[in-house]
């Protein structure tokens, strides 16, 4: 083979590898975008629910102060999101309540973003 033929073959192989790399990178990007899109479409909407149960401490700081609460009911335990009205439940540990809010479930754990609550009768 002549030198120019070898140079031409090397350029051709390089071009084929470059095109292959481009195709691979493009398809990987498309697959990642599809996975991200499918994950967002399978995300469940939050449901508005009312739960009756007892406020229990779900966490304490180094001084022993309650810094997280949950509602324990006959249907399970619901971690309270400490925003808005949810913060007020920190002072209600041990009391029976009726809580209304948006329920979310992730990895088998339930949480509720409280929109309203009232102390319930025994």
Same domain, 62 and 106: yes
| Overall domain count for the chain | 2
CATH number assigned to the domain comprising residue 95: 2.40.50.140
Instruction: Look at the pTM and tell me if it is higher than 0.85.
Output: no
Model pLDDT for residues 61-105, shown as the tens digit of each residue: 999 999 999 999 998 999 999 999 999 999 999 999 999 999 998
Tell me which residue of 96, 87, 82 sits closest to 53, measured CA to CA: 96
In the block, residue with structure tokens 């619901």: 78
Q: Could you tell me the CA-to-CA distances from 19 to 12, 24, 63 in Å, in that order?
A: 11, 9, 62
Residues 108 and 59 in one domain: yes
Same domain, 51 and 82: yes
* Residue 7 sits in the same domain as residue 31: yes
**Looking at the predicted structure, is the pLDDT value of residue 40 above 80?**
no
Q: How many CB atoms lie within 10 A of CB 10?
A: 10
Q: How far apart (Å, rounded) are the C-alpha atoms in residues 122 and 115?
A: 22
Domain span at 34: 1-43
> Does 71 lie in the same domain as 36?
no
């Amino acid at each position: 083979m002549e030198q120019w033929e070898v140079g031409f073959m090397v350029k051709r192989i390089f071009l084929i590898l470059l095109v292959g790399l481009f195709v691979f990178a493009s398809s990987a990007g498309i697959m990642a975008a599809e996975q991200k899109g499918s994950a967002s479409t399978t995300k469940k909407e939050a449901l508005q629910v009312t739960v009756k149960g007892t406020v229990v401490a779900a966490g304490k700081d180094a001084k022993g102060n309650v810094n997280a609460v949950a509602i324990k009911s006959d249907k399970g335990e619901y971690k309270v999101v400490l925003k808005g009205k949810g913060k007020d439940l920190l002072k209600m540990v041990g009391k029976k309540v009726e809580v209304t809010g948006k329920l979310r479930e992730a990895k088998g754990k339930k949480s509720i973003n409280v929109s309203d609550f009232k102390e319930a009768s025994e």
